[in-house]
Amino acid sequence: MRALIWIMTPLLIICVLLASRFVSWDRLKGEDPVVVEYVNEGTSLLEGINPDHQGAVAAFTRAIERDPKCALAVIRRGLAFHYLGEYDQAIADYDRAIKLRRYEAEAYYSRGDAHRELTNYPEAIADYTASLEKRWAAFVIWKRADVYLQIGEEQRALADYTAVIQRKGGAAGYYQRGRAYVQLQENELALDDFNTGIEIEPKFAEAYLSRGETYERLNRQHDAKSDYLKVVELADAEIQMWEKDHPILGPVYYRRGIAHERLGNIEQARADFQTVAKITPSELIGREVKSRLRMLVPHH
């Protein structure tokens, strides 16, 4: 489970961290009980198994109308707008939260996420940097590093990933830096980092998948197949732990589908991708998987 929370791709990390990062009920002690009720309602709608982002916006808006200085309601409404793809409105709420001078670290990196969606990369980097100045967080550094990679600032990206490894260690840091080396076509360096990540966390499924793809690029097909089989094994075990249609399993089915596709098991891959589309239809991963389904070619 630790590895599942780490990797999220940039997809699953975002889902879990965004869903939980602002809520601490201690922060609402002493607040107007009606405001607290509205915030609780909006949070439930935002985080539920079947989220209602429009409903969440409405609930947080009621809280803000009653108490315009409730920064938690403002910042969570921004998150709801983000999920709806209404990034300019999300940014407006994050601006407002920053002016209230509360939850500034969250507001800055959330605004950075919205700017990134709008391809405003310099603004995204500035916001991630501002967030880090308020509070150090590895996942914010990873976000900034990813943007550096997108704009061709490879050395700054590697410096960020390395800084996390030096300060925090852990499999996730090596995995993230390995991804950067992949993008730079430094396959041997990527392989070293994936190996280290797996040594630290032997059940790190995403690292096995990335290492398998790296082995393929190095023409080590036998090693690649072994890693893809490991991904399938780990996914099978995780799926058995949960209800089969639980939304948190979307990335697990997605990984297993990619592994099956790499192994030539096209029908199994198709079934996994269809499951992802069913249980997470409105999430980014649900849209991504529809594209993969269109590209699947029957294996002969």
What secondary structure, in 3-state letters, does the chain show?
CHHHHHHCHHHHHHHHHHHHCCCCHHHHCCCCHHHHHHHHHHHHHHHCCCCCHHHHHHHHHHHHHHCCCCHHHHHHHHHHHHHCCCHHHHHHHHHHHHHHCCCHHHHHHHHHHHHHHCCCHHHHHHHHHHHHHHCCCHHHHHHHHHHHHHCCCHHHHHHHHHHHHHHHCHHHHHHHHHHHHHHCCCHHHHHHHHHHHHHHCCCCHHHHHHHHHHHHHCCCHHHHHHHHHHHHHHHHHHHHHCCCCCHHHHHHHHHHHHHHHHHCCHHHHHHHHHHHHHHCCCCHHHHHHHHHHHHCCCCC
Phi, psi of 51 (to 5 degrees): -65, 150
Amino acid identity at 230: K
In the structure, what pLDDT confidence band is assigned to residue 34 with cuts at 50, 70 and 90? confident
Amino acid identity at 153: E
For the question of whether the overall pTM of this predicted structure is more than 0.85, the answer is no
Q: What is the pLDDT of residue 201?
A: 96
Q: Residue 116 in contact with residue 151, Cβ under 8 Å?
A: no
Calpha distance 125→112 (Å, rounded): 7
Instruction: Tell me which of 11 and 182 has the higher pLDDT.
Output: 182
**Token pair of 114, please?**
């919205």
pLDDT at 297 over 90: no
Q: What is the pLDDT of residue 103?
A: 87
Q: What is the pLDDT of residue 248?
A: 77
Least trusted range by pLDDT, from 184-193, 228-237, 281-290? 281-290
Phi, psi of 219 (to 5 degrees): 60, 35
Tokens 């982002």 sit on residue:
53
Calpha distance 163→106 (Å, rounded): 21
Q: What is the pLDDT of residue 11?
A: 36
Q: What is the pLDDT of residue 249?
A: 85
CA distances (Å), origin 166, targets 13, 154, 174, 299: 21, 18, 10, 44
Q: Residue 212 in contact with residue 178, Cβ under 8 Å?
A: no
**Token pair of 246, please?**
């639980």
Calpha distance 216→161 (Å, rounded): 24
Instruction: Tell me which of 28 and 232 has the higher pLDDT.
Output: 232
Calpha distance 264→34 (Å, rounded): 56
Calpha distance 227→286 (Å, rounded): 24
Q: What is the pLDDT of residue 47?
A: 77
